[in-house]
Chains A and B, each alone.
Chain A
């Protein structure tokens, strides 16, 4: 009986702690670890063949049919110049959502090496992004989080999903 009461107490304490926490999905790219706001993650899928889109940057691999919607797949490794890794059934695609200025929802998939887990980060402990030393350009990084012994770079999803203008003047 007393033990149960103790358990409940710790649970409640944990809950209280949890309230200050923000959740991220962490994944690896090369030898570094990144995280995205869990609320932006729609789903996680394994790699499937894409339909190629002509005349777009290399790292925009193509589009897939996601339950009737046409969703582009971006290779993050290639995006950040980490070199292409051959795709296998173990390759993971994280499907992210963001809100556009017009209020619509945009869905895009990003190819990552592997997905780690969901991490809870106390908002207060998030550090500013370093000015140098990261493979990924700091414009995409919102902050750094320390989880257990690892350092996780928290990515800005909106900026991540921003597509570059095409070289040949296709976009007005």
Chain B
């Protein structure tokens, strides 16, 4: 039977990458002074699994490489080797190497042999203390082939199981059966050892056999049959036709050469033999890149199934009511409909919940990042993770990763000071970077906090002026000063160090966050530290919206953006030539955006400001008043993309389908402000 092993490859890759993550986390968490045996064991097991799987599925290069790691880890867990920082770093590097190898294989690319050899050498240096270049598996020295020749006639086997042999599940009948498949077998059973009936323990074996096996058979085949029961029986094998043919089973334990088949059985490389030049090992099927799949707790699925069940019940109840409807059934209908609404809402929440993943998925890469970068920078930095269990939509997880890396790198590079400087400033030598996530309102907040040197307002301002981003007389609040770093062109090449990355500016970070419908703010204190907070909507697909009417067109304003809605009095309005209209709200003047003008709505009803409503909204710090005809209802809307089939429209973040089937546009406040400024 030939089985296509490729069908198991994808699972193998997935579990191997998970195993590598476990190894990495485990290695990073090892406390040199007090190593927990169970921790080492966990790391060992992960390596062991990868080695086993890769061997089974024919990825020999991976298997060989992992073997060296496993040997090192095995010695550590047995206590034969001390766990040192150097060894841990070498192992961390090896984990990286394995990740590269597995990724290469998964993508059907060539493995970087040079790179692998480099890492392997490092491992071997650590293992042997010398530059050993061989990577022999500990192959058992194949024992001497028996000097006994293959006797054309056959073998005489004296087989005496020990009393307990049955208790390991070894049935003598099996051995007899196997022998008989090798050649012509004549069995003679010896009852002598069987005790009296009343003393007989049926669970013990008291029989023994003389077996005559005729045929052209190699002794190793005969021995193989008794491989497992070596220590549980007395075995003597003589060639047939040799002068001394013993009939009685010997009483001494295993005689003759038991050929160690270990060498053969231990390395049945499915395909490639180990060659000096490692060729690309590829899996047959191209594995799905960048998983578009998700792991879901079965309990979430069960909840979903229950809800669908209830929905079905409600639906059949409603169709029953509808069948021969009469007015006296109205109450039933109403109650059924409200049940339907409840079930639909619950179902919707459950489904959205399925896409939620704990943010630990995003946070998980940071311990390693901080560990590596802080040693590279010669800084002492501790990473604290808070709220890792906080759940976010899968898309958020995917899109948040890169911006966060940029922010953390910034903190590492520019935020936290060198140990000496910190001590001089009266701070502890080790700086702390905190990544925290929590839910607030309908949003998820992720904060990157450092206790470093903070932002210097004067310097920021000076730099912005120097770069021509603001004028000398421009007045900025503290918050606006900090936000200067989000302006494109703020950082120069000289500052974009290797650490913080080239070509990825804070402006890109902010844009990415905004494109997700979120915003980013900075809080800082000179000498104390900086906190960067990212706010993102919890789900990207559903939003609470306020429906507004402009003429006979309907738009949706994100409820979270609305501050209040007011009736404007002429006395509140201020008109400045060339600068549009503003109105006074408490102590600030906010611009008025006439929706019908901006969106060209011809059927508008109210043209005088006093005839309509002004909805005061806030979009990422920009406040304004939207002049509309009327406020309609509030509802949850499903956000549909306008760009999928059409185009991006300024001032519009998406569209939704209303209850009557028509399409309403969802407003994008910052976009509207930009539009009105043109």
Contacts and interface: CB of A to CB of B under 8 A. Distances in A.
Complex contact flag A–B (Cβ < 8 Å): yes
Interface of A: 49-56, 62-65, 68-72, 104, 106-108, 163, 166, 168, 170-171
Nearest to A73: B646
B641 interface: yes
Contacts of B645: 69-72, 106-108
B678 interface: yes
26 contacts: A50-B663, A51-B553, A51-B655, A53-B642, A53-B649, A54-B599, A54-B652, A55-B599, A55-B649, A65-B661, A65-B662, A70-B640, A70-B642, A70-B655, A70-B663, A72-B645, A72-B646, A72-B647, A104-B644, A106-B644, A108-B645, A163-B646, A166-B647, A170-B648, A171-B647, A171-B648
B657 interface: yes
B665 interface: yes
A151 B599 CA distance: 42
A170 B600 CA distance: 16
Contacts of A55: 599-600, 649-651, 675
Interface in B624-678: 640-642, 644-652, 655, 657, 661-665, 675, 678
A94 B253 CA distance: 89
Contacts, number: 75
B9 to A, nearest CB: 24
Contacts of B649: 53-56, 170
Given A72-B646, A168-B678, 7 more contacts: A51-B664, A52-B553, A53-B646, A56-B647, A63-B646, A70-B642, A70-B657
SS of B interface (majority): loop
A108 B599 CA distance: 22
B663 A64 contact: yes
Contacts of A56: 647, 649
Nearest to A161: B645
B172 to A, nearest CB: 64
Closest 8 CB pairs of A and B: A54-B599, A51-B663, A72-B646, A170-B650, A65-B657, A70-B655, A70-B640, A107-B645
A163 B646 CA distance: 8
Contacts of B504: none
Contacts of A170: 648-650
A55 to B, nearest CB: 7
Nearest to A170: B650
B650 A63 contact: no
A56 B650 CA distance: 10
Contact of B657 (A68, A163, A168): A68
A168 B652 CA distance: 15
Q: Which of the four size classes fits the interface of chain B?
A: 20 to 34
Contacts of A70: 640-642, 644-646, 655, 657, 663
Residue among A65, A69, A107 having the largest count of chain B Cβ atoms under 10 Å? A65
B462 interface: no
Contacts of B644: 69-70, 104, 106
A18 to B, nearest CB: 33
B225 to A, nearest CB: 58
Contacts of B648: 170-171
B377 interface: no
Given A63-B655, A69-B640, A70-B655, A51 B665 contact: yes
Contacts of B601: 54
A106 B601 CA distance: 28
Interface string B141-175: 00000000000000000000000000000000000
A163 B647 contact: yes
Interface string B395-422: 0000000000000000000000000000
- Which of B553, B600, B649, B661: most chain A CB closer than 10 A? B649
Of B599, B647, B651, B655, chain A has the most CB atoms within 10 Å of the CB of B647
A84 to B, nearest CB: 16
B305 interface: no
B642 A63 contact: yes
B642 to A, nearest CB: 6
Nearest to B661: A65
B598 interface: yes
A22 to B, nearest CB: 26
A51 B553 CA distance: 8
Contacts of A108: 645-646
Nearest to A51: B663
Contacts of B661: 65
Interface string B249-291: 0000000000000000000000000000000000000000000
B647 to A, nearest CB: 6
Contacts of B665: 51, 53-54
A10 to B, nearest CB: 44
Contacts of A71: 645-646
A79 B356 CA distance: 44
Nearest to A68: B657
A120 B675 CA distance: 49
